[in-house]
C-alpha cells in the first residue's frame, strides 16, 4: 500500500486500521453470496456539519472612504493664472469632441478625448476650462504610453473667479507594465453639489521621461451624478470593504456615472481565513461592458494587477484594491452589483455512499467487494463550509500490482453547487493474487486482490476503506 500522507495515520498496522473502519464498512461476517442490503454502502456514521454560505449586502453606509495614503509628492508647483490663459481648452490645445461617443442612455453627458505628447521630464499639458454644472460629476482618465521608462501624473484643480487654483484630486501611480494590459491609467474626478456651476483645470505632467512619438491619451467626461459615493477615481480614495467570511458580500449601492468612471474598493485580508475571493458583476453590468480588476500596491506606488482565474483571486494576508470600470463605448447611469464571495481550500472530505459491490467475507475478513467499477458519493468542505466547484480525486488502490498504471485507478470530479460529488472509478483488472476455496453442494474457487478506497481534495482526506477487487470464479465440482 502507498505510504500514507497523513502523519497521524502513518504508523497504523493493518489490524489497527481495520479496527478504525466504521461498522457500516466492516459489516458483520456474511456468506460470500451477494447481500442486497449491502449492495449500497450508505455510511450513516458520516456526520456532515458543513454549512452553506449566506448573502449579506453592503449598503452605501457600509462603504467608508479610505483616507488618502499620502499628500501629492511629485508636483513641483501649482499652475498660475497666466498658465490658464495660455492653454485654454479648445484654443491652443483643441480636443476632439464626439457626441456620438456618449452613450444614448446618457444623452446629457459629454465626452472628449485626444492624444498629446510630453517630450521631457517636467513637461506638462494644462487643460482648461472644464465647466461642471451643479449635480454633475467630472471624470478625467489619462492612458499612459506603454513604456516603463515614462512616468506621468495627473492633477485636478478647482478654479475660482480670480483664477486661483485649489487642488481637489491627484493621481501619482508609478509606472508598472502589467503585461499586455500596460500600466494602470491615472484618473481623477470631482463632483459638484454646491448649487452653482464650477470651473476645473487638469494638469498632466511628466515625472520621468518624455517621448515625441508615444503620446498619452486624455479622456474627459461630464455627466449627471447618480452615485452618491463619487468620486473615487484612483486607489488613494478607495472605499473600504469589510468582507464576511461566511457569506457572499454584494455591493449594491454603486453606479457607473460616466463612460470613464472608476470605482475603487480596498480589501484588507490581514488575519482572514479566506483562501480565495470570487469577484463578479451582475449579468446586466457584464453585458454593458463593465469589468472588475484587482491590484496590489508596491512600496514605490506601483499598481500590480492580480491574476484572476475563473473569477477568483488568491489572497495572502495583504491589501487588495478592486477596480470597477467601463469601456468608453458602454452604457452608463445604471447601478451594478459587485459580488465578493469567500472561497476556502478544501480541508475536509466526507464519503457518504459507496456503490457497485457488496460485502463478502474471505480469510482476510469482511470487505466491500467490487469488480469492474465502484461509485463513490460524498461532500467536500473548507473552513466548515460546503465547497462548490472543488476538485476531488477518488482512488481505488490494488495492493497486488506494482505497476502504477494498474495499482491506482482514479476518477477526478468537481463538486456541485452544494459541495457534493459523485465519482465513478473504473478499476484496472484484478491480478488474482489471492484465492479462497468455497465448499458446498457446488464448490468454487474465488480469485481476488486486496485493495483500498480513498478520496482527496486539497488537504482533505477520507479513507482508507478496505476493498476486495474480484477477478473471477472457477467451478470445481
Closest CA to 351 of 412, 409, 423: 423
Look at residue 87 in the predicted model and tell me its pLDDT. Answer: 43
Q: Has residue 48 got a pLDDT over 80?
A: no
Dihedral, CA of residue 249, residue 254, residue 258 and residue 262, to nearest 10: -50
What is the pLDDT confidence band of residue 9, given thresholds at 50, 70 and 90? very low
pLDDT tens, position by position, 66-93: 545 456 777 777 777 666 654 444 444 4
Rounded average pLDDT over 33-55: 53
Look at residue 56 in the predicted model and tell me its pLDDT. Answer: 54
Looking at the DSSP bridge assignments, the partners of residue 204 are 125, 154
pLDDT tens, position by position, 220-237: 999 998 888 899 999 999
Looking at the DSSP bridge assignments, the partners of residue 218 are 114, 142
Look at residue 38 in the predicted model and tell me its pLDDT. Answer: 47
What percent of the chain is predicted at pLDDT more than 90? 61
Look at residue 249 in the predicted model and tell me its pLDDT. Answer: 83
Q: What grid cell was written down for 292?
A: 472588475
Point out the least confidently predicted range of 106-110, 428-432, 466-470: 106-110
Q: Has residue 431 got a pLDDT over 90?
A: yes
pLDDT tens, position by position, 95-124: 443 333 333 334 567 888 889 999 999 999
Ordered domains of the chain (ranges, CATH): 7-52+346-475 (no CATH), 54-67+234-343 (2.60.120.380), 81-224 (2.60.120.380)
Point out the least confidently predicted range of 29-33, 201-205, 212-216: 29-33
Point out the least confidently predicted range of 191-205, 226-240, 246-260, 306-320: 246-260
Look at residue 211 in the predicted model and tell me its pLDDT. Answer: 96
Over the range 132-167, which residues count as b (16 or more CB within 10 Å of their CB) and which as e? beeebbbbbbbbbbeeeebbbbbbbbbbeeebebee
Q: Has residue 387 got a pLDDT over 80?
A: yes
Amino acid at each position: 500500500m502507498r505510504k500514507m500522507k497523513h502523519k497521524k495515520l502513518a504508523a497504523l498496522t493493518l489490524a489497527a486500521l481495520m479496527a478504525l473502519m466504521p461498522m457500516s464498512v466492516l459489516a458483520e461476517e456474511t456468506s460470500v453470496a451477494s447481500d442486497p442490503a449491502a449492495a449500497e454502502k450508505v455510511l450513516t456514521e458520516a456526520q456532515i456539519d458543513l454549512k452553506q454560505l449566506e448573502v449579506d449586502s453592503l449598503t452605501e453606509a457600509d462603504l467608508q472612504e479610505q483616507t488618502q495614503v499620502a499628500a501629492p509628492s511629485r508636483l513641483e508647483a501649482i499652475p498660475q493664472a497666466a498658465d490658464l490663459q495660455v492653454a485654454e481648452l479648445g484654443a491652443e490645445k483643441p480636443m476632439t469632441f464626439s457626441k456620438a461617443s456618449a452613450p444614448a442612455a446618457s444623452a446629457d453627458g459629454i465626452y472628449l478625448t485626444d492624444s498629446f505628447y510630453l517630450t521631457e521630464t517636467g513637461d506638462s499639458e494644462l487643460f482648461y476650462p472644464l465647466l461642471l454644472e451643479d449635480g454633475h460629476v467630472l471624470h478625467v482618465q489619462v492612458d499612459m504610453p506603454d513604456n516603463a521608462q515614462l512616468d506621468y501624473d495627473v492633477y485636478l484643480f478647482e478654479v475660482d473667479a480670480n483664477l486661483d487654483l485649489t487642488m481637489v484630486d491627484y493621481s501619482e501611480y508609478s509606472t508598472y507594465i502589467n503585461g499586455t494590459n500596460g500600466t494602470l491609467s491615472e484618473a481623477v474626478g470631482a463632483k459638484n453639489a454646491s448649487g452653482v456651476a464650477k470651473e476645473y483645470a487638469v494638469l498632466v505632467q511628466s515625472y520621468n521621461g518624455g517621448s515625441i512619438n508615444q503620446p498619452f491619451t486624455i479622456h474627459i467626461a461630464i455627466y449627471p451624478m447618480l452615485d452618491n459615493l463619487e468620486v473615487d477615481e484612483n486607489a488613494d480614495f478607495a472605499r473600504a470593504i469589510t468582507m464576511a467570511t461566511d457569506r457572499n458580500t454584494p455591493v449594491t449601492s454603486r453606479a457607473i456615472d460616466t463612460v470613464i468612471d472608476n470605482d475603487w474598493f480596498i480589501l484588507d485580508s490581514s488575519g482572514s481565513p479566506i483562501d480565495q475571493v470570487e469577484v463578479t458583476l451582475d449579468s446586466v453590468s457584464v453585458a454593458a461592458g463593465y469589468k472588475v480588476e484587482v491590484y496590489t500596491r508596491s512600496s514605490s506606488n506601483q499598481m500590480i494587477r492580480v491574476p484572476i482565474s475563473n473569477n477568483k483571486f488568491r489572497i495572502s494576508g495583504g491589501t487588495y484594491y478592486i477596480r470597477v470600470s467601463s469601456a468608453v463605448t458602454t452604457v452608463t447611469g445604471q447601478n451594478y452589483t459587485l459580488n465578493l464571495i469567500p472561497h476556502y481550500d478544501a480541508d475536509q472530505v466526507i464519503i457518504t455512499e459507496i456503490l457497485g459491490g457488496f460485502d463478502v467475507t474471505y480469510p482476510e475478513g469482511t470487505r466491500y467487494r467490487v469488480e469492474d467499477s465502484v461509485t463513490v458519493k460524498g461532500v467536500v468542505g473548507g473552513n466548515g463550509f460546503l465547497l462548490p466547484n472543488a476538485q476531488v480525486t477518488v482512488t481505488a488502490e490494488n495492493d497486488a500490482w506494482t505497476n502504477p498504471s494498474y495499482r491506482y485507478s482514479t476518477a477526478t470530479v468537481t463538486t456541485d453547487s452544494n459541495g457534493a460529488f459523485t465519482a465513478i472509478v473504473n478499476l484496472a483488472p484484478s491480478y488474482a493474487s489471492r484465492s479462497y476455496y468455497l465448499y458446498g453442494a457446488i464448490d468454487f474457487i474465488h480469485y481476488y486482490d486486496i485493495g483500498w478506497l480513498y478520496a482527496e481534495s486539497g488537504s482533505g482526506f477520507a479513507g482508507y476503506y478496505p476493498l476486495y477487487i474480484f477477478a473471477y470464479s472457477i467451478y470445481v465440482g
